[in-house]
Amino acid sequence: MKKIMPLLLGGVLMVSVAACNNAKTTSDAPNSTDNNGQVPKAQDAQNAQKDASNDVRKNQMESDIRAREQRNDVGGSKDKRADGDLESEVRDKLEANIPNGKLTVDSKNGAVTVAGTVPNQAQLAKVEPLAKQIKGVKSVAVKATVAAPKAQ
């Protein structure tokens, strides 16, 4: 029974990760790291910031990161992470710390690419160090740009 539960839980988590084909901080972030999308509207940026700075959401993101790390540790892979896990963990980290950015995360063999927009230069400077805090991230390419929210 002790061996079946982690297997079942891992299977459910893998299916849910496979269902998520893009790691984005907001629903209107660009669909790929090949472009940076459009400048967000002021109201949309405020709504995203309220959602990401909500204590319940922050706790959920931190819990998700811990669960993925525990699952990988149990699987015998302390340093290597699946691309989907890396994308999701980096996305959660960025969403919690840059709540009004519109970012998309892509990963291939530990090389993470972040594209999209952030409202100011200080937040753009945070992207790489935050992404490197996630276990398994070997390098970070930041293609994001600064684009302050436009008034409606």
Residue 27: per-residue pLDDT: 61
Is position 138 within any domain?
yes
Is position 151 within any domain?
no
Query: Rounded distance, CA 49 to CA 150, Å?
Result: 15
Is position 18 within any domain?
yes
Is position 134 within any domain?
yes
Per the structure, how many domains does the chain have?
A: 1
pTM score, whole prediction: 0.59
Task: Give the dihedral sign, CA 130/26/63/6.
Answer: negative
Residue 131: per-residue pLDDT: 93
Cβ distance 141 to 131 under 8 Å? no
Quote the radius of gyration of the chain (alpha carbons, Å): 16
Cβ–Cβ contacts within 10 Å for residue 89, how many?
28
Residue 143: per-residue pLDDT: 94
Query: Rounded distance, CA 128 to CA 142, Å?
Result: 7
Residue 142: per-residue pLDDT: 94
Query: What is the share, in percent, of the chain residues with pLDDT greater than 90?
Result: 26
**Residue pLDDT tens, the chain, 152 long:** 667 777 767 766 665 554 455 566 666 666 666 666 666 566 666 666 666 667 887 788 778 777 877 777 776 655 667 788 889 889 988 988 887 888 999 999 999 999 999 989 999 999 999 999 988 899 999 999 998 766 65
Is position 122 within any domain?
yes
Beta strand residue intervals within 4-138, DSSP E: 23-24, 102-108, 111-118
Dihedral angle over CA of 101, 13, 63, 23, nearest 10: -10
Query: Rounded distance, CA 115 to CA 127, Å?
Result: 10
Dihedral angle over CA of 94, 96, 122, 47, nearest 10: 110
Give 80-121 pLDDT, tens digit per residue.
677 888 898 899 889 888 878 889 999 999 999 999 999 899
- In terms of residue numbers, what domain contains 33? 4-146
Residue 19: per-residue pLDDT: 47
Beta strand residue intervals within 27-149, DSSP E: 102-108, 111-118, 139-142, 145-146
